[in-house]
Amino acid sequence: MAPIAVGDALPDGTLAWFDENDQLQPVSVHSLAAGKKVILFGVPGAFTPTCSMTHVPGFIESAEELKSKGVDEILLISVNDPFVMKAWAKTYPDNKHVKFLADGSASYTHVLGLELDLADKGLGIRSRRFALLVDNLVVKVANIEEGGAFTISGAEEILKAL
């Protein structure tokens, strides 16, 4: 399956997250993105070095600036279970805007065409590192990394596109 690209409609799918009341909830991607400008970014795994020390902090630190440029939602997905994503989110006490969403079985990652096979590293099927800028369910920017690279999917690249 070809990876999602600029001009494509963002497919719907169900992810899991812990809401503001600490309740585990299924959530539709379309319910978070329809009629809005959103950033959907994905990482290979919670608690992994580049994801934890650079990629996610970049979006947390840039959230106010992104919001000031018209972004309504900043959505992080990873192929991890929702309990891992909840624990990972708690390691960022200053986060006010990034929602940590779980794609536990990689089903939504598959629909996006962004699977990354990391079985040789003991991680199984994960997500490629990416950042999408989506406006009313249409992909406007698709920054998709190759392998384990982190060159084009950070917050600063999305800021340049806004």
Q: Residue 23: pLDDT band by 50, 70, 90 thresholds?
A: very high
Q: How many CB atoms lie within 10 A of CB 35?
A: 9
Lowest mean pLDDT among 19-33, 44-58, 65-79, 102-116: 44-58
Taking the C-alpha atoms of residue 130 and residue 22, their distance in angstroms, rounded to an integer, is: 27
Element (H, E) at 28: strand 24-28
Distance CA 126, CA 134 (A): 22
pTM: 0.93
How many CB atoms are closer than 10 A to CB 149?
A: 12
Q: Which of 51, 102, 118, 134 is catalytic?
A: 51
Q: Is the pLDDT of residue 124 over 70?
A: no
Task: Judge contact between 129 and 152, C-beta under 8 A.
Answer: no
Q: State both tokens at 154.
A: 């950070």
Q: Look at residue 116 and tell me whether its pLDDT is greater than 90.
A: no
What is the pLDDT, as a whole number, of residue 53? Answer: 81
Per the annotation, the verdict on 76 as an active-site residue is no
Cα–Cα distance measured from residue 12 to residue 28, given in angstroms and rounded to the nearest whole number: 7
For 62-100, the pLDDT digits (tens) are 999 999 999 999 999 999 999 999 999 999 999 999 999
Neighbours of 7 (CB within 10 A): 9
pLDDT band at 51 (very low <50, low <70, confident <90, very high): confident
* pLDDT > 90 fraction of the chain, expressed in percent and rounded: 78
The whole-number pLDDT of residue 144 equals 95
Average pLDDT of the chain is: 92
Cα 18 off chain centre by: 15
Mean pLDDT of 117-146: 88
